[in-house]
Structure 1
Amino acid sequence: MYYIGIMSGTSLDGIDAVLVNFSGLSFSLLYTCHIPYDQPLQTELLCLNRTGENELHRAAVLSNRLSGRYAQAVRQLLEKSGIDPGEIVAIGCHGQTVRHCPQPENSYSIQLVNGALLAELTGMTVVTDFRSRDIAAGGQGAPLVPAFHHEMFAHRDIHRLIINIGGITNITSLPVTGSVNGFDCGPGNMLMDAWCLKHTGMAYDRNGSWAKSGRVIGPLLENLLDFPYFSLAPPKSTGREMFDLDWLQPYLTDDEATQDVQSTLLQLTVQTIANSVETYYPAARELYLCGGGAHNGALTARLQQKLPDQRINRTDVLGIEAEWVEACAFAWLARQSIERTPGNLPAVTGASGSRTLGAIYPA
């Protein structure tokens, strides 16, 4: 029962792809690959987060280009594994989000991928467009990974939290009894990465070293935390449309040291996670990190200071390395779609009921 999962998230660092095996109730992560985005592609994708000239044409062209890169990732996985393409049941490809607008009156979410082209390029069944059905059912279409978190990481005796720190941070609550829950806390790496690139030329602040060289600007942090999204009750989800450098700029005086702003942005991510835990899941005692931010030592250390009663670790200790969890989730969601089994959690997204997600392009 081989599936491929492909994820390219809001951090815009590139494509993560995994080859997994579902056999009965067991799950195995077999092979992985990462294809980084070059700077021109990142810039083009960022531009599509805003209205602009000829954007429909640009989006269609980029969908085709990205589908070629997704196919490249599939080829790399097959070369590593030696598995015959005919043995792959399906590819689950999330696509690259360029717009996410979950407002109730006019909801939509756009991920760039040409599923038909990807099926042609690989000769495999492709499942894409995972969010639309949940949105049609009154949900926000995100986050979708909590259902997978429950399948992989739930414990019958321990209330666990899974924190995915990508461009956006989302939290999943896996209680011993009661329903699985979760939501987007706010920015994860997105603002830190953008500020770091602008002022150092580096794509991200490795291990939070630059942030550690600065100090948290208390009044700035308080003003940022007053933004209405953070006090909004779940279900809720967000993206680049809300949190980018244009959002940050009005809060700045331009007299701040750049490393101090970086330190404050790191603390914003930490504080919004801690506030989410303390407000909604105070009984949880184990917290597991995944996504790129799980490798930020400064972030992890500050989070442990804010949540001293939590045992904080990476999902690696639960069997899936932190950087591959989301790609694995979309392999799982593809299986749910192929087997006509629901993949959303209404308590998380706000949908009116469970739905089978995804559009299928047969081989």
Structure 2
Amino acid sequence: MITIGLMSGTSLDGVDAVAVDFEANRMQLLGRAHAPFVPELRSELLALALGCENEIERMGDASRGLAEAYALAVERLLRQTHLAREDVAALGAHGQTIRHRPERGFTVQLNYPALLAELTGIDVVADFRSRDVAAGGEGAPLVPAFHAERFRTNFPRAVLNIGGIANATLLPALGDATPVSGFDTGPGNMLLDAWMSEAFGRLFDEDGRTAAEGRVLEPLLEAFLDEPYFRLPPPKSTGRERFDFAWLEARLLKLDPRRTLDPRDVAATVTELTALTAARAILETQPGTAEVLLCGGGALNPTLRTRLAAHLPDVRVTDTGEYGLDPMEVEGAAFAWLARMFLLRLPGNLPAVTSARGPRILGCWYPA
């Protein structure tokens, strides 16, 4: 069974399409393609995530734009891998989260799976979060079940995905009856990207160079760490609803109303926040963790990796590429796996992770 996972995360940089061949109990990655968002679509998605006027019309237009971006990524992937459409059992299309409110019983992912099926000629499985939320769960993170199947081993390990939001999957050693757990640790790249855009006019801190030139401002870091979310026990999930630029700006203005701080120091402090909160969450929840596998865009940031390692002195920090899955392919592969689970009518959630009332089959089917 070959499925393609489509992932566009909170970083809003574009769509990753990952093709996976699931043969018996073996998983073979066939290829990855990326389609960046055009600036207009990225701006609209950001506006919708933060709240804007005329939302219904704009949601409709953005959903169509998303479907077209997804279809472009699929076309590129089919060309690269020489796969025919009939070779692909389904596309797993997560959609773009613009509002995630599990505490109020709903989650909203922009998507147009019917149009995606029409454009690609391939069946689409979409809407993965809502069934878990309907069953009382957080609906996030969804990838721990995949992490457990792919990366669990004979010693305690964690998988730390650093996208816009950072989420950790804690994998007890094989044979340990402790359930797999997972939760959002807090901001990943989201706050740093927002600051780079505001202060430097750049979309992200390439190779962590700006943060490396700055120093951590302890009073600012303490103001960041005062956020109640970091003290909540799991299961928990978060997003742009909490950690947006306004969150960052409010704390900056309180500490530095005249805006005299070196912007490189702010970048360093935001990077430190991501590293420290993720490391603390892992050590507090699974103290015996021997290894942390990084994935997502943050895995490519050397400064962030260095800070994580500093806060995990007795833990080996590496990335999923060492175990055969490129850090930028993990989430796409996870949604390919979730599409497969739906086709097999098998549960895709872990109640111990999301606090749902039980295992649930995740997704809705849109035949081509």
Distance 1:50 1:323 in 2: 26
Distance 1:260 1:216 in 2: 6
Shift of 1:39: 2.2
Distance 1:189 1:37 in 2: 17
Give the match for residue 215 of structure 2. 215
Map 1:86-235 → 2, pairs under 5 A: 86-103=86-103, 106-155=104-153, 157-176=154-173, 177=176, 178-235=178-235
Q: Which amino acid aligns with 1:292?
A: G
Task: Indicate yes or no: 2:314 matched with 1:309.
Answer: yes
CA RMSD of aligned residues (A): 0.9
TM-score with structure 1 length normalisation? 0.98
Q: Which amino acid aligns with 1:136?
A: A
Shift of 1:238: 0.4
Per-residue CA deviation, residues 8-36 of structure 1 (Å, 9 max, x unaligned), is 00011110001110000000111110111
Shift of 1:107: 2.0
Give the match for residue 51 of structure 1. 51
- Match of 1:313, SS state, is strand
Give the conservation status (yes or no) of the 8 Å contact 2:18–2:329: yes
Q: Which moved more, 1:290-299 or 1:53-62?
A: 53-62
Q: Which amino acid aligns with 2:339?
A: A
Structure 2: 5+ residue stretches without partners: none
Give the match for residue 303 of structure 2. 298
Give the match for residue 28 of structure 1. 28
Shift of 1:38: 2.6
Distance 2:280 2:290 in 1: 15
Map 1:11-90 → 2, pairs under 5 A: 11-90=11-90
Shift of 1:79: 1.2
Q: Which amino acid aligns with 2:123?
A: T
Shift of 1:88: 0.7
Shift of 1:51: 2.8
- Match of 2:15, SS state, is strand
- Match of 2:329, SS state, is helix
Shift of 1:57: 1.2
Distance 1:337 1:145 in 2: 14
Map 1:209-288 → 2, pairs under 5 A: 209-252=209-252, 253=256, 254-288=259-293
What percent of counterpart residues are identical? 51
- Match of 1:207, SS state, is helix
Q: Which moved more, 1:259-268 or 1:277-286?
A: 277-286
Q: Which amino acid aligns with 2:141?
A: P
Distance 1:171 1:57 in 2: 35
Give the match for residue 320 of structure 1. 325
Per-residue CA deviation, residues 156-182 of structure 1 (Å, 9 max, x unaligned), is x11110000000000001101121001
- Match of 2:182, SS state, is strand
Shift of 1:81: 1.8
Structure 1: 5+ residue stretches without partners: none
Q: Which amino acid aligns with 1:168?
A: I
TM-score with structure 2 length normalisation? 0.96
Give the match for residue 289 of structure 1. 294
Give the conservation status (yes or no) of the 8 Å contact 2:41–2:65: no
- Match of 1:18, SS state, is strand
Shift of 1:54: 1.3
Q: Which moved more, 1:352-361 or 1:72-81?
A: 72-81
Structure 1 stretches of 4+ moved >6 Å: none
